[in-house]
Amino acid sequence: MMEDRYPAFDNNLMDDATLHEPRRRRLFVWFKELIQIVLIVVVMRVGMDLFLPRYVVDGASMEPSFHTNERVIVDRITMALSGPARGDVVVLASPTAADELLIKRVVGLPGEHVTITDGRVYINGAPLDEPYVVEFCIYPSCEGSWVLDNDEYFVLGDNRMHSLDSHSFGPVEASTVQGIARVRYWPLTQADILQAPEY
């Protein structure tokens, strides 16, 4: 009688390690993908905090443009590359209080001559049209004349009668500006892209 050279495959010969190998491989791949997703999220969060941080508005100095508890995303990249344009709203370190941030509007750019008379702003002798201001500051303390250095900005709150700004502490150095407010994302009913007005 001829021997069977091709015996039937016996499932019992397969050991447990071989049976569980595909499952282990799938688990390893899944775990590897999970780690990659977590790393991507962490990198994105760190990048957001570094280049596009978020700030909460506190105080009435920018009303009616901004109100307390509104939240904005700030652009540090443009600030580092070219600086703000006239009319941009910026977040800056307070010159008068450590660890305090202010939100103000840039009205004067480096090298310009800023004059305030009867509450109105003049840049190099020309009046600045400011439709975002409801009430101009009429106090004598709001008036003055400043010549900005090449690394200075003149910043004012839109609520001119109730704002601690360059009226009081003068021009601010570029290094104190944290970034330019680009997006208001809270409350959702007021969410919008922020752009400097055209003068």
Given the residues 61, 65, 163, 166, select the one marked as catalytic: 61
Residues 187/72, Cβ–Cβ less than 8 Å: no
Cα-based distances in Å from 14 to 9, 18, 25, 27, 197? 10, 6, 18, 21, 75
Structure tokens at 198: 């055209």
State the DSSP code for 42: H
Calculate the CA 116 to chain-centre distance. 29
Catalytic, 82? Answer no
Choose, from 32, 65, 82, 104, the residue flagged as catalytic: 104
Sheet holding 126-127, edge to edge: 126-127, 120-123, 113-117, 144-147
Rounded to whole angstroms, the Cα distance separating 77 from 173 reads 17
Question: What is the rounded CA–CA span in Å between residue 21 and residue 39?
Answer: 27
Cα separation, 138 vs 161, whole angstroms: 8
Let me know if 61 is a catalytic residue: yes
Point out the residues that are catalytic.
61, 104
